[in-house]
């Protein structure tokens, strides 16, 4: 995650502690608290989110992966991006995404609203970035969607097949889950607050990213 948000309770007499620096000093090198602020007692970093955005990076050169990118991409090889776009268009909208939920986290319902999937250039010519924004996600939903889209890009699924999988609402009907290393949480949106903006603002921004509330 580059823009995760968390919350926790603190004693009133600790409100003035520089929490960003204090917590970052205790965390491993690959985790940092970028900003923080005091929020209402009823604020919940999970349940008050309006939407979340994930990005998944695919690597398309089968002969090599740059060492700097190896931990952050799935080397899926060559794919038909247009076929993937066509399949992705089927997924946009409000649907029951049961077919793309892995077991492990109980939820009240499996209906989610997914924005049109965006395809962006990556950090190198060998990459594409697939951006997913929704009002919420099921367990490993993005990785399951990517696994399905890549199969479409390999010519193994048509857009109609993806629609059938979606309508069937059976996880067993969908392709395997994509690897974890290509996935990043890049934004959590709340009323009046965007965690991605806070992440870009760093320590000087109010409200927290990967931080204390």
Enumerate domains of the chain plus CATH numbers. 1-48+202-213 (no CATH), 51-185 (3.30.70.660)
Please choose, from the candidates 52, 148, 60, the residue with its C-alpha nearest in 3D space to the C-alpha of residue 97: 148
Please, is 160 exposed, middle or buried when counting C-beta atoms within 10 Å of its C-beta (0-12, 13-18, 19+)?
Answer: exposed
pTM of the model as a whole: 0.90
Q: Quick one: pLDDT at residue 2? A: 93
Q: Quick one: pLDDT at residue 205? A: 36
Q: Are strands 51-59 and 127-134 parallel, antiparallel or unpaired?
A: antiparallel
- Print pLDDT tens along the chain (213 aa): 999 999 999 998 998 999 999 999 999 999 999 888 888 999 999 999 999 999 999 999 999 999 999 999 999 999 999 999 999 999 999 999 999 999 988 899 999 999 999 999 999 999 999 999 999 999 999 999 999 999 999 999 999 999 999 999 999 999 999 999 999 999 999 998 899 888 876 533 333 333 333
- Dist CA 65 CA 40 (whole Å): 46
CB 148 within 8 A of CB 100: yes
Task: Write the secondary structure of 101-113 as one string of H (helix), E (strand) and C (coil).
Answer: CCCCCCCCCCEEE
Half-sphere exposure of 172 (CA within 13 A, CB side): 0
Q: Answer left, alpha or beta for residue 11, where phi above 0 means left and psi between -120 and 50 means alpha.
A: beta
Sign of the C-alpha dihedral, residues 109, 102, 167, 52?
positive
């Amino acid at each position: 995650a580059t823009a995760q948000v968390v919350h926790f309770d603190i004693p009133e007499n600790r409100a003035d502690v520089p929490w960003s620096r204090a917590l970052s000093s205790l965390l491993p090198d690959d985790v940092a608290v970028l900003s923080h602020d005091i929020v209402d007692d009823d604020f919940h970093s999970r349940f008050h989110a309006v939407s979340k955005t994930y990005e998944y990076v695919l690597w398309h050169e089968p002969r090599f992966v740059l060492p700097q990118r190896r931990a952050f991409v799935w080397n899926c090889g060559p794919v038909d991006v247009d076929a993937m776009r066509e399949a992705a268009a089927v997924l946009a909208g409000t649907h029951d995404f049961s077919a793309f939920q892995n077991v492990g986290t109980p939820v009240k319902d499996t209906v989610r609203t997914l924005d049109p999937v965006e395809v962006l250039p990556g950090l190198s010519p060998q990459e594409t970035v697939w951006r997913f924004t929704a009002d919420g996600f099921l367990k490993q939903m993005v990785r399951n969607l990517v696994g399905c889209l890549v199969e479409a890009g390999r010519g193994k699924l048509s857009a109609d097949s993806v629609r059938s999988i979606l309508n069937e609402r059976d996880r067993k009907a969908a392709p395997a889950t994509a690897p974890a290393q290509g996935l990043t949480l890049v934004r959590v949106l709340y009323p009046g607050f965007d965690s991605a903006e806070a992440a870009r603002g760093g320590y000087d921004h109010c409200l927290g990213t990967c931080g204390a509330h």
